[in-house]
């Protein structure tokens, strides 16, 4: 995979921009926002037949300036992350069509990156619901993740003057594969044939996904989710290996009971001194635990051992030998 940061992104509306499939064009290609633009209208623009409509206005400028406040809100809710001062664009040269994904912000914590996509609108109808992430926004963010290689993302939305809401988006390889296939087919038809109809299975997957992308980082998954299945398998394998390791370690210790075992002159065992427990004190001697000379706020084990060494020894567990982790 060849992912590059675009240092000089083409200006929206330019001829170079028109030839690229951007993350924001993907919902249009999929026919998810006909109220804004249809796949046919975008096809005419990208084929060079029609000129794209010039977008301007205070509402667009406000959306751009509002990003700072929405990013600040996300950082308030996710302490420990840092963000750059502005947008950052990526392209993935391995995809079968020219592409670009512009991230409103790229957050960073250590070596981890996270996408922040900011959305503002005065009309909640474009979202259908304030509680769910719309399919067209989901498709856009999955595309940003696919092109940039950053597999975690959040959408910070502000509908009207409400407090911003944060939707965490999880990576979905199947949806991304469907988007790539649809975009490649769309690009191949430019200037020659009618654009292909969006794949209904992909549209259904995006619509169904809205029920699982909820607020405050909750994400409901199915029992057959491939990552969950793999994680459960790994946990079961780890548990089995831990049992096998414990049995094998006991066999190894049995070669020299109570003794240190060495490998090339280096000890691979360590001695764990037995621990004193008041529960092991014989019943006939338990009254000695109340001796004022061995009591402070709690039992003074050192004083008890000094005054009653035989009882202390009887209440002390046996030394144990453990095999060190050879993988460390």
DSSP 48-115: TSSPPPPP-SHHHHHHHHHHHHHHHHHHHHSTT-EE-SS-EEEEETTSSS-EEEEESEEEEETTEEEE
Q: Is residue 304 located within the same domain as residue 268?
A: yes
Closest CA to 10 of 89, 65, 84: 89
Q: Is residue 238 located within the same domain as residue 199?
A: no
Q: Is residue 116 located within the same domain as residue 195?
A: yes
pLDDT digits (tens, 9 = 90+) for 258-270: 888 898 888 888 8
Q: Is residue 174 located within the same domain as residue 315?
A: no
Q: Is residue 170 located within the same domain as residue 72?
A: yes
The answer to whether the CB of 151 falls within 8 A of the CB of 171 is yes
Closest CA to 305 of 314, 292, 317, 297: 314
Q: Is residue 208 located within the same domain as residue 145?
A: yes
Q: Is residue 162 located within the same domain as residue 89?
A: yes
pLDDT digits (tens, 9 = 90+) for 139-151: 999 999 999 999 9
Q: Is residue 54 located within the same domain as residue 181?
A: yes
Q: Is residue 231 located within the same domain as residue 244?
A: yes
CA atoms of 14 and 25, how far apart (whole Å): 14
The total number of structural domains in the chain stands at 3
Q: Is residue 298 located within the same domain as residue 317?
A: yes
**Assigned token pair, 219:** 């994400």
Instruction: Give pTM, 2 decimals.
Output: 0.64
CA angle 104, 91, 180 (to 5 degrees): 100
Task: State the residue range of the domain holding 243.
Answer: 223-255
Q: Is residue 62 located within the same domain as residue 126?
A: yes
Residue 128's domain is classified under what CATH number?
3.90.320.10
pLDDT digits (tens, 9 = 90+) for 234-293: 888 888 898 898 899 889 888 888 888 898 888 888 877 787 888 888 999 888 888 877
pLDDT digits (tens, 9 = 90+) for 94-134: 999 999 999 999 999 998 999 999 988 766 666 766 678 88
């Amino acid at each position: 995979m060849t992912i590059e940061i675009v240092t000089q992104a083409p200006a929206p509306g330019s001829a170079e921009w028109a030839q690229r499939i951007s993350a924001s064009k993907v919902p249009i290609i999929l026919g998810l926002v006909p109220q804004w633009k249809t796949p046919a209208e975008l096809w005419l623009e990208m084929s060079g037949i029609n000129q794209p409509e010039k977008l301007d206005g205070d509402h667009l400028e406000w959306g751009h300036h509002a990003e700072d406040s929405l990013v600040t809100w996300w950082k308030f809710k996710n302490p420990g992350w840092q963000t750059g001062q502005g947008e950052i664009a990526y392209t993935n040269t391995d995809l079968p069509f020219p592409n670009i994904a512009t991230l409103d912000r790229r957050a960073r914590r250590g070596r981890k990156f996270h996408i922040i996509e900011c959305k503002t609108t005065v009309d909640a109808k474009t979202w259908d619901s304030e509680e769910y992430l719309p399919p067209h926004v989901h498709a856009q963010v999955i595309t940003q993740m696919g092109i940039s290689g950053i597999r975690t993302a959040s959408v910070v939305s502000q509908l009207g003057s409400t407090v911003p809401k944060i939707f965490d988006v999880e990576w979905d390889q199947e949806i991304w594969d469907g988007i790539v296939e649809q975009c490649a087919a769309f690009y191949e038809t430019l200037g020659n044939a009618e654009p292909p109809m969006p794949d209904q299975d992909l549209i259904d997957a995006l619509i169904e996904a809205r029920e699982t992308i909820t607020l405050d980082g909750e994400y409901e998954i199915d029992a057959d989710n491939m990552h969950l299945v793999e994680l459960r398998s790994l946990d079961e394998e780890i548990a089995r290996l831990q049992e096998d390791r414990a049995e094998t370690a006991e066999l190894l210790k049995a070669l020299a009971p109570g003794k240190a075992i060495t490998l090339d002159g280096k000890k691979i065992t360590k001695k764990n001194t037995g621990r004193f427990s008041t529960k092991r004190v014989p019943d006939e001697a338990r009254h000695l635990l109340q001796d004022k000379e061995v009591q402070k706020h709690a039992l003074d084990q050192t004083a008890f051992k000094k005054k009653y060494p035989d009882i202390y020894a009887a209440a002390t567990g046996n030394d144990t030998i453990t095999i060190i982790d050879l993988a460390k």
